Structures are given as C-alpha cells and as structure tokens.
Structure 1
C-alpha cells in the first residue's frame, strides 16, 4: 500500500509541474513543504507513529516530487510539443489530491510500521516497487522518482 501511494504521489508531480509551468512560481516551495511536513508530524503524533520516521519519509516524498517536476521541465524545454496544454489550479485541483494521498500514506505507514523495521522490509519494498511500476506504467522519470520517494522507508537498509 505504501508503495502504491508513493507512486501515486510521484505521478501528481506531472500536474504540479503543469500548474507551475510558464509561471514565475518556482518548483521549490519551502513554505508549502514546511506545512506538509508539520501536518504530517502532527498527524503522526495523533496516530502514534514515530514522528522522525514520518518526517524522513515525507521529506523523501517531497524531494521525489520536485525531482520529477525538474525532469519534466527539462523534457518540456527540449521537446516543446510535449508541454502541457492547460494549467491546473494548484489550490483547487492539485493540493486536494496531494492532501488525500498524504493522509492515506500516513495511515499506510501506521499500519505497516511493525513491518518497516523488520529485515524483510527491503525485499517486500522491492517487490512492491516492481508491481507498482508495471501496474501504473511508470516511465524512467517516474521510476526514478519512486526510488527517491521510497529511499528511506526501510530504516535498516
């Protein structure tokens, strides 16, 4: 479940990038990132999840999303025909999706927490990534993003 949600979050980078493309709005949004991390930490405390682990995981989710946005920008600059045709609204169309996925990801982390510290975490993660890549048809940009998003899920790597 964590892998599928991380992949879904990585895929939202396309919409985020499309919303920011051609505007002065930068890919890096420190204030928004802080809000996401603070909310995740508060929710982790409510759920009884290790807050440091949640911060680590969500920092990786944010970094992965930005990596994908940067890769898409580079692709769009090189191939203008692939540039987004429309500009979704960050506040009304993009953030609600990210907020939903983030909430589901916190629940999934809570449920998986005992497994994350076990030796088989890495093998399970590898199988989950392979399944998500195939099921969701992730290209190289998004596979790389997923790798980054899941980089520190298993703390005993």
Structure 2
C-alpha cells in the first residue's frame, strides 16, 4: 500500500468515525435549517482539529460567496472575472511574501478559494433561475463584501503560516483536514454544492495535493 493510499484510507476512516459522532450530537440535529443569511453560532460552528481554524476561515469565505452571488444575480456582473482574479492573486503573492508564507503555496491555495467561490455562485444562480421565489430580494454591496474578503485573506495567510509544518506532513495533514472538513460541514449544515466547494477550496491545503475524504451528508443549508 503506497503513501497516498494509506493517507486516503486513514482520512476516510477518521471522516466516517467523526461523522457518526457529530451527527448524533444535539447541535447537529437541531430542528430547522439555517439559511445563508443566518450567522453561525461561535459555540457550535468551529471545525475540529489542528486545521480547524484554517477550515473555519475557508468555510466563512465560502459563505461570503452566497452574498457575492446575491450581489451579481440579475445584473451584468459575470461569475468569471479573469482580470479581477489575476489582481487578487497578485495581491496574495505580495501579502504572502510580506507575511512569511511561501508565495507559490499561497497563490495555489487562493486560486482554489476563487474556484470554489465560483462553484457556489454558479450553483446558486442555477437554483435561483429554476426557483425564482428563492432568489434574493436585496442586493448586497460588492464593495463591502470585498472588504470582508480582504480581511479573510489576511487571516487565511496567517493560518497558512501557522500550519506550515503540519501541512508538510502528508498523513497527519490529511487526517486533520478530514476531521476539520467533516465537522465544519456538519456544524454549518452545508448543502451539497457548498460541500463540494469546500473540497475544492481545501484541495491544496496538504502539500501532497490535498487528498481528503468525502464530506458526508449533514443537515443541509438552504
């Protein structure tokens, strides 16, 4: 059994065990379904493990994508914006160098964040087009959203620096990432599109390419 296979097996095992534990917890089966407009409870929404803080920020950024989608839906603003994306990645490279984070690692990680955000936006556009009654009735300010994204960039870079040693250890990183992903997805009640986007967003967290276990079904976000 090679290293990648062992890593995947261990991560999957941890994910399954964690899912069984978290899904039986009271907070995971609370009545009702949180909507994207409802803030997460700080007491229940923190992913577990040593990569929990990093994963929490990744999930927060994903949920901001809901607001980005609401700001763009029904306008001429496209999901794809290559010029803006290139600017963001250049800024990330400069900030990473100043923060003591490997610039190539940071750029790869934030490219995944951008890709994941676009996955969420496309999924929401498709849902709102098919079900107009679910479409947002207000349009958030993209300028305000970008201030939040800038803050998250700074916080994410700090966590990349703080977890650099762990992320260089393939097996440990994959197990810790599975732990954080599963617990974070269940506690935040992410629906299938958000869970898939979370997997995309964490693809390059571990230096081996981000092998992670699938996030199991939890109580979905609507």
Do the structures match in fold with TM over 0.5?
yes
Q: 2-side partners of 1:21 and 1:143: how far apart?
A: 21
Cα separation, 2, equivalents of 1:59 and 1:44: 14
Instruction: Map 1:62-101; keep pairs closer than 5 Å.
Output: 62-91=114-143, 93-101=144-152
TM-score (norm: length of structure 2): 0.68
- Higher fraction of helix: 1
* Residue 47 (structure 1) aligned to one of 99, 112, 119: 99
In the other structure, the counterpart of 1:137 is 189
Moved more, 75-84 or 30-39: 30-39
- The number of residues matched between the two structures is 156
Extract structure 1 runs of 4+ deviating beyond 4 A.
none
Partner Cα distance (1:106, 1:32) in 2: 19
1:4-153 equivalences in 2 (<5 Å): 4-91=56-143, 93-119=144-170, 120-153=172-205
Shift of 1:134: 1.8
User: Could you tell me how far 1:15 is from its partner in structure 2?
Assistant: 0.2
Q: Which of 1 and 2 has greater Rg?
A: 2
Matches of 1:50 and 1:102 in 2, distance apart? 14
* CA-based RMSD: 0.9
- CA distance, structure 2, for counterparts of residue 96 and residue 139 of structure 1: 26
Deviation at 1:47, TM superposition (A): 1.7
Structure 1: segments with no counterpart, 5+ residues? none
Query: Hey, what's the Cα distance between the residues in 1 that align with 2:193 and 2:137?
Result: 20
1:25-59 alpha-carbon deviations (Å, 9 max, x no partner) = 10111122112111111111112211111010000
